Amino acid sequence: MASDDAAAVGVVGGWASPFVMRVCVALRLKGVAYEFLQEEPGKKSELLLASNPVHKQIPVLLHGGRPVCESLVILQYVDEAFSGARPPILPADPYDRAVHRFWAEYADAKLPMALRTLRGMIDGDKAAAAEQVAAALAQLEEAFTACSKGQRFFAGDDIGFLDIVLGSYVGWFRAAERITGQTVLDEMRMPRLAAWAARFCGHEAVRDVMPDAGRLVEFGEALRAALAANANAQRM
């Protein structure tokens, strides 16, 4: 991907993070080349701590040596900083932008903790977590009908802000399905959202950065084992 700013763009993150994936998809959608700076799982590099001293979390976008933090903020920054590159990530209409931002924040409020519970990354009631995910996706099925206006994606003919935000969870959906043996994106209950997810995963800006479900399951198992070993070592 060609870009005049290619040498100045970097992404600090981890391949398994849906929040990091968002940044990569946005840059790829804009045609911006970038360097991926992989963090070691369970650790925080000096670069990360220096770039995001407040939250000390991934992702961080580095552009011209300056850090931008928090995935939703980064998506909007990428849209504005590379405004000459098409297509736009956020809708042009102010009302549509507000609606897409609302549903993006809704997804981030309802899905991450419940999905982590389903995958066994944190302790919790798996049945309650499954119900929360199902209820959220049912709402987002209705939102897709309203936002897409009969087109292929939330943003219309091509992926945009809300597509990227919700689509970043699809790998986690699939990993949770493998672990629990239960369907998360049920084609019978939410046919439009299930069809959208398949289209999203096949998009050229997405398919090379969408994590494989089996690899996510293995990553989660390895991370849990490493955290348990570290906790045991600290108690000794």
- Residue 143: inside a domain: yes
Query: H helices then E strands: how many in the chain?
Result: 10, 4
44 shares a domain with 21? yes
Q: Is the separation of the CB atoms in 164 and 75 below 8 Å?
A: yes
100 shares a domain with 26? no
209 shares a domain with 99? yes
- pTM to 2 decimals? 0.92
Number of domains in the chain: 2
The length of the chain, given as a count of residues? 236
pLDDT given at position 224: 78
- Domain housing 189: 94-213
* CATH number (domain holding residue 74): 3.40.30.10
Which of 57, 81, 105 is where one domain is finished? 81
131 shares a domain with 72? no
pLDDT given at position 190: 94
Strand order in the sheet with 66-69: 35-38, 9-13, 60-63, 66-69
107 shares a domain with 27? no
- Residue 25: inside a domain: yes
pLDDT given at position 85: 66
- Residue 147: inside a domain: yes
CA dihedral defined by 70, 174, 90, 23, rounded to 10 degrees? Answer: 40
* Cα dist from 224 to 6, 51, 89, 122, 126, whole Å: 36, 26, 35, 9, 17
The two three-digit tokens of residue 203, written as one number? 């998009």
pLDDT given at position 235: 63
Q: Is the separation of the CB atoms in 197 and 44 below 8 Å?
A: no
What is residue 20's three-state secondary structure? helix
132 shares a domain with 162? yes
Which of 20, 52, 81 is where one domain is finished? 81
pLDDT given at position 229: 67
pLDDT averages per 10-residue partition of the chain, 236 residues: 60 97 97 95 94 98 97 97 86 97 98 93 91 96 96 97 98 94 93 97 97 94 75 62
Q: Is the separation of the CB atoms in 118 and 129 below 8 Å?
A: yes
17: left (phi over 0), alpha (psi -120 to 50) or beta: beta
pLDDT given at position 4: 46
Which of 81, 106, 127 is where one domain is finished? 81
What residues form DSSP beta bridges with 35?
10
